[in-house]
Structure 1
Amino acid sequence: MSSQPSAVAPSAASGPTVFTLPNLLSFSRLLGVPLFLWLLLGPHADGWALAVLMLSGVTDWADGALARKLNQMSRLGALLDPVADRLYILATLVGLVLRHVIPLWLAVAIIGRDLVLACTLPALRRRGLTGLPVHYLGKAATFNLLYAFPLLLIGSQPGALGAVAKPIAWAFTIWGAGLYLWAGGLYLIQFRRVITGQAAV
């Protein structure tokens, strides 16, 4: 892995087609966000909420796999995928806080990290860049959190299954939150290198 991260510039090689199968899967993930939050906070239909969350995880894997297999990778798809991830994380954090499953400070720490990184985007765009390269640590953090959230919901239920799921859920949560904040620090270092001209563009 290079110590000089390169920024992500808009690619002319990206296909102009919007309605590809991978992009439609990403759009379906976005449409699932309000449905998931309503199921979690409205009727407290936790089983259906978990089903939506798990379906999102399957489509998250499928859209990337299909994009590579069908050679339908696009700039839109590259933008939709992390947006969907962030929205699911945000929706789940809000829902779990309002359901008193996780403490408010944990949600604030995770959401605050994304808000800090969002502040770097205008400076990058002024330099003709759409963002920074996705770090493997950030992917690992998102993976942990997206596994932690459904387990936290299961762990909040009474019974043997909830008792087994709860410690596993909190293990994923602690690791995921720690890696998420660490990855945020690495992105800020990448941002500084780009702004100061130390990183290749």
Structure 2
Amino acid sequence: MTSPAADKHDWATIPNAITVLRFLLVVPICYYLLTDSAPVATAFLLLAFGLSDWIDGFIARKFNQVSHVGVLLDPIADRLGIVAIAVCLVFGGLVPLWIGLAIFVTDLFLLCTYFALRLSAPPESSKLGKIRTAIMMLGLAAVAFGRIEELFWLFTPGLYILGIGAILHLFVGARYLRLMAHTAKILRQPAG
């Protein structure tokens, strides 16, 4: 059993610090996308954003630093970060509106459902959800690197990859909605 002091500092872990850093990276990424400036810096910041998602999960599992705060914070940072970046890509005229809408509307609906059902934790990430996130991160990175003049050829494949990720996002979102509804139904059943 953990002590109350240990529970009090459950949030103070390296993976949680990386998650917060990942979320903070969204600010300069969005600024550069909206102002159509610093394509090299944007690309490398986006790469760091994507890699940090894998790194914080690896450290949390490898060094037993999984925390309740991290379980809540990590998917929120991922989703809010990807939504913000996708919206900025749309406003910057770099990706089609449907991609931004697919990502934004799905995540908004999931977030509202999560809070409406008053769940204690988001649904656990599925294998398809992890694949979807990897595809979206790859697409975002390819689009960002495609803004660099010498790497322009990455831009169009990046759009297609991001489009595939957005379509997968709709399917994964529908699955997470069903999981949340099922969890809420179980929690509301009377005991005994």
Task: State if a TM-score over 0.5 links the two structures.
Answer: yes
Q: Against the structure 1 CA distance between its residues 180 and 162, is the aligned structure 2 distance closer, same or farther, given a 3 Å change threshold?
A: same
1:15–1:73 contact (8 Å) kept in structure 2: no
| 2:47 paired residue number | 54
Q: Deviations over 1:53-110 (max 9, x none)?
A: 1112222222111112221110111122112211221221122112211122221121
Unaligned runs of 5+ in 2: none
Higher helix share: 2
- 2-structure distance, mates of 1:36, 1:107: 16
1:101–1:153 contact (8 Å) kept in structure 2: no
Aligned letter for 1:172? Answer: I
2:99–2:163 contact (8 Å) kept in structure 1: no
1:137 to 128, 138, 142: 128
| 2:152 paired residue number | 162
- 1-structure distance, mates of 2:168, 2:115: 25
Q: Against the structure 1 CA distance between its residues 15 and 64, is the aligned structure 2 distance closer, same or farther, given a 3 Å change threshold?
A: farther
What displacement does 1:41 show?
2.3
Over aligned residue pairs, what C-alpha RMSD do you find? 2.4
- 1-structure distance, mates of 2:141, 2:104: 18
What displacement does 1:39 show?
2.3
- 1-structure distance, mates of 2:177, 2:34: 34
- 1-structure distance, mates of 2:152, 2:92: 15
Q: Against the structure 1 CA distance between its residues 119 and 91, is the aligned structure 2 distance closer, same or farther, given a 3 Å change threshold?
A: closer
1:124–1:130 contact (8 Å) kept in structure 2: no
Please tell me whether residue 118 in structure 1 is matched to residue 111 in structure 2.
yes
Aligned letter for 2:152? Answer: G
What displacement does 1:174 show?
2.3
Aligned letter for 2:173? Answer: G
| 1:71 paired residue number | 64
- 1-structure distance, mates of 2:152, 2:120: 45
Aligned letter for 1:122? Answer: F
Note the 1:1-201 alignment, pairs <5 A: 15-17=7-9, 18-42=11-35, 44-125=37-118, 129-156=120-147, 158=149, 161-163=151-153, 165-197=154-186
Aligned letter for 2:180? Answer: F
Q: Deviations over 1:126-163 (max 9, x none)?
A: xx53222222222211111111012123334555x312
Q: Which has the higher contact order (CA 8 A, sep 6+)?
A: 1
- 2-structure distance, mates of 1:148, 1:111: 16
1:22–1:72 contact (8 Å) kept in structure 2: yes
- Identity over aligned pairs, percent: 33
Q: Which range moves more in the overlay, 67-76 or 130-139?
A: 130-139
1:39–1:45 contact (8 Å) kept in structure 2: yes
- 1-structure distance, mates of 2:137, 2:169: 12
What displacement does 1:43 show?
6.2
Unaligned runs of 5+ in 1: 1-11
Q: TM-score, normalised by structure 2?
A: 0.83
